[in-house]
Amino acid sequence: MLLWTQRGQQPRAALWRIALVLVGASLVTHPLAWWANRGLVGVFGFEVRAAIVETAVVIVEGVVLRGGLRLGVLPAFATALVMNAASFGVGLWMITHRG
């Protein structure tokens, strides 16, 4: 937490900034991921398509997190990878467990 705060910045303000950057990164990449996925449907199978789209999303979100939260390269891209693995996993679970 202290790594993400600027000198003199209150922890509550830092939490709001973190939340805004995380949500903002997802809001930017989510529609792009959907459009890219739909555009590649006839070109690649699901596994390859998912790998291409999710890799692109992790790269874009890693860059956003690096700049927006002033993180190092490894923490920014690790965070983006974890966020997208969780999102992708929940999406797969939802698709396979439809009532």
pLDDT digits (tens, 9 = 90+) for 52-93: 999 999 999 999 999 999 999 999 999 999 999 999 999 899
| Structural domains counted in the chain | 1
Structural domain for 73, as ranges:
11-96
Q: Are 54 and 16 in contact (CB under 8 A)?
A: no
| Distance, CA of 79 to CA of 62 (rounded, Å) | 7
**Residue 2 belongs to some domain of the structure:** no
| pTM as predicted | 0.81
- Could you give the percent of the chain with pLDDT greater than 90? 77
**Residue 86 belongs to some domain of the structure:** yes
| Distance, CA of 73 to CA of 58 (rounded, Å) | 12
**Residue 59 belongs to some domain of the structure:** yes
- Could you give the percent of the chain with pLDDT greater than 70? 87
**Residue 46 belongs to some domain of the structure:** yes
**Residue 66 belongs to some domain of the structure:** yes
**Residue 1 belongs to some domain of the structure:** no
| Distance, CA of 10 to CA of 78 (rounded, Å) | 25
